[in-house]
Amino acid sequence: MNITFLTFYYPPDLSAGSFRAAALVEALSGQLRAEDRITVITTSPNRYKQASVEAPDTEIYGPVTIKRVQLPRHDSGMVDQAKAFAHFSLHALRLVRANRPDLVIGTSSRLFTASLAAAVATRYRAKLYLDIRDIFSDTIGDIFGVGVGRLAMPLISALERATIRRADAVNLVSPGFLGVFEEMAPGKLFRTFTNGIDPEWLKPLSVSATSFSRPVNIIFAGNIGEGQGLHKILPIVAKKLEAEARFTIVGAGGRRRQLEMALHDAGVVNVELVDPVPRSRLADYYIAADLLFLHLNDYPAFEKVIPSKVFEYAATGKPILAGIAGYGAQFISGNIVGAAVFRPCDAKAMVDCIRRSMNAPASYDRRTFVQRFSRSTIMKEMAADVLSLRG
């Protein structure tokens, strides 16, 4: 059986989607028959220009072949991303011809990778398994509000609905998505294999501190985009806690420049911005942290998600500060001891959470959570589900 796996991001790119895709490929490769082959069609590393790395156009590991499309230089804006995806799509369609697929897998936070997978599956009359990591129509509607983005919403919604209905099986990365997709495709049975904790984070960090440092050291690691909304809250909070806390923001993204300007305009001196680092170095930042911070913007679309970063944070045993609402807030509060949750973009609530956390334990035993949400365990189950489509 020939399997084609379409994913815009793949290691060594640094993104939640790339880590998830690689984990699924690894799990699949351990369950293949002798005659089975997987071809991963992805892009050359492009997630962050500050963390640019090289990767060969083609790699072969046993039954797995990775083919990378070289993208033209682009920024994080929607227009540039659309051009990059169009380039990827054209080249991906050419690459697919070399191994007519019997099964197509698409993992997608942006709708269009899933729609590309649906088009390929239809063209070759192949089975289709989709792994959906975001509700694209919700996100676009919230971010653009009015204007061109709003005018495109009927087309985007129709494409999303057709893509989901074409699939033979659909996994939703958050159970919070179920209501939307069940309405979109009545009668379809959805899976909910979530994100999880990668092997390098399964053992708690070696933490010797039993109390918080002063000022308290708060670390954020991840994308700095509209979805995170750091520019809306961090300058206010950092200024308020100038003598009590220092913040280190590790990452890049489309709103980093806006965040830098907002911090400068507010006269903030206790925030350091660091370019993205490999995961092997990220542990050093986590060890130095008193609090690990994540935040989603105050858009209704984000009330259905579980941020992938929370699994990694939880595995460290460090206290967590989470600006999140809806299903994600319920998940964190119900599953992760030592996590303080506040409403997104509520600066006063964040300040209060930080001050309360400074008087709480410096580390927590989360072994039960870590065992339950091991990425390798989740992906083995998901791989078996994918391969059940071969009949």
Task: Provide the CATH number for the domain around residue 258.
Answer: 3.40.50.2000
The amino acid that residue 247 corresponds to is: F
CA-to-CA separations, 14 to 55, 252, 322, 361, in angstroms, rounded: 13, 11, 22, 31
Tokens of 356: 């309360």
Q: What is the pLDDT averaged over residues 32-48?
A: 91
Instruction: Give yes or no: residues 301 and 222 share one domain.
Output: yes
Tokens of 226: 């509209």
Per-residue pLDDT band for 384 (boundaries 50, 70, 90) equals very high
**Mean pLDDT of all residues in the chain?**
92
Number of separate domains in the chain: 2
Instruction: Give yes or no: residues 175 and 215 share one domain.
Output: no
Instruction: Give yes or no: residues 252 and 171 share one domain.
Output: no
The amino acid that residue 15 corresponds to is: S
Between CA 324 and CA 333 the distance in angstroms is 11
pLDDT confidence of residue 61: 96
Instruction: Give yes or no: residues 268 and 348 share one domain.
Output: yes
CA-to-CA separations, 208 to 76, 288, 362, in angstroms, rounded: 39, 10, 9
Q: What is the pLDDT averaged over residues 81-100?
A: 92
- pTM for the predicted model, two decimal places: 0.92
Instruction: Give yes or no: residues 32 and 21 share one domain.
Output: yes
Which of 19-23, 87-91, 201-205, 262-266 comes out lowest in average pLDDT? 201-205
pLDDT confidence of residue 77: 60
Instruction: Give yes or no: residues 352 and 226 share one domain.
Output: yes
Pairwise pLDDT comparison (275 vs 203), residue with the higher score:
275
Asked if residue 53 has pLDDT above 80, the reply is no
Per-residue pLDDT band for 156 (boundaries 50, 70, 90) equals confident
Instruction: Give yes or no: residues 210 and 349 share one domain.
Output: yes
Instruction: Give yes or no: residues 166 and 229 share one domain.
Output: no
Per-residue pLDDT band for 280 (boundaries 50, 70, 90) equals confident
What is the per-residue pLDDT across 329-375, written as a single tens digit (0 to 9) for each?
999 999 999 999 999 999 999 999 999 999 999 999 999 999 999 99
Q: What is the pLDDT averaged over residues 191-210?
A: 82
DSSP letter string over 100-114? --SEEEEEESSHHHH
DSSP 374: B
pLDDT confidence of residue 109: 85
Determine the structural domain holding residue 7 and report its residue range.
Answer: 2-196+374-390
Instruction: Give yes or no: residues 378 and 367 share one domain.
Output: no
Instruction: Give yes or no: residues 132 and 206 share one domain.
Output: no
Instruction: Give yes or no: residues 358 and 384 share one domain.
Output: no
Instruction: Give yes or no: residues 384 and 362 share one domain.
Output: no
Q: Is the peptide bond before 12 cis (omega within 30 degrees of 0)?
A: yes
